[in-house]
């Protein structure tokens, strides 16, 4: 029996068209999500980002750092200029070179860890964190917001 295209059920054709459309939408959406939000990766996730030198802007939202995968160069002193664009209070707290937090809870400016100044940044406010990169190339140094220590974290890779 020959296939007569003019006699295909219209209902099935429409369902098929909808399924294809939905698939295309999802594939497109996920490919866009993959392109990253910090603008430094250019959508390629496996290539290390260019090391920052000097100063870098980091936006704090509810509850995330817009840059949570940062690369720095050994021997540098890096200044993070932080802006809280969220509603909640946030901060930035970097671990010791061994990756551990020596200060539990909210970090302090005269404590052992590196803490943003101020250590509690209200909505709409800015803060500064100056950090001497430890002499430990190849190390990944964690950082976090002490107010959202589970969800609001990041990593600084030392090159
Ligand atoms: Cu936070």
Q: DSSP string covering 28-60, please?
A: HHHHHHTT-SSSSSTT-SSSPPPPB-SEEEEEE
Determine how many CB atoms are found less than 10 A away from the CB of residue 127: 22
CA of 87 to the centre of ligand 1 (A): 10
Structural domains of the chain, ranges and CATH numbers in brackets: 9-39 (no CATH), 55-158 (2.60.40.420)
Q: Give the pLDDT score at 20.
A: 56
Q: Give the pLDDT score at 73.
A: 96
Q: Give the pLDDT score at 21.
A: 61
Tens digit of each residue's pLDDT (9 = 90 or more) over 39-96: 444 444 445 578 998 999 999 999 999 999 999 999 999 999 999 999 999 999 999 9
Q: Give the pLDDT score at 42.
A: 44
Q: Give the pLDDT score at 142.
A: 98
**Phi and psi dihedrals of 142, rounded to 5?**
-80, 155
CA of 70 to the centre of ligand 1 (A): 18
Tens digit of each residue's pLDDT (9 = 90 or more) over 130-149: 999 999 999 999 999 999 99
DSSP letter at 131 equals E
Mean pLDDT value across residues 102-120: 96
Any alpha helices (H) in the chain, and if so which ranges? 10-33
Mean pLDDT of the chain: 83
CA of 121 to the centre of ligand 1 (A): 9
Q: Could you tell me the pTM of the whole model?
A: 0.70
CA of 27 to the centre of ligand 1 (A): 32
**Phi and psi dihedrals of 25, rounded to 5?**
-65, -45
């Amino acid at each position: 029996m020959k296939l007569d295209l003019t006699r295909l059920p219209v209902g099935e054709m429409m369902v098929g068209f909808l399924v294809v459309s939905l698939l295309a939408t999802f594939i497109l959406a996920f490919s866009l999500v993959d392109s990253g939000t910090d603008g430094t990766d250019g959508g390629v996730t496996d290539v290390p980002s260019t090391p920052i030198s000097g100063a870098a802007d980091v936006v704090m939202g509810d509850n995330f750092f817009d840059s949570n995968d940062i690369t720095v160069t050994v021997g540098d002193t890096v200044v993070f200029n932080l802006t809280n664009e969220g509603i909640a209070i946030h901060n930035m707290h970097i671990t010791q070179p061994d990756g551990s937090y020596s200060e539990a809870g909210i970090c302090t400016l005269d404590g052992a860890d590196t803490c943003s100044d101020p250590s509690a940044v209200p909505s709409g406010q800015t803060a500064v964190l100056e950090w001497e990169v430890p002499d430990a190339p190849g190390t990944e140094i964690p950082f976090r917001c002490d107010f959202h220590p589970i969800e609001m974290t990041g990593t600084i890779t030392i090159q």
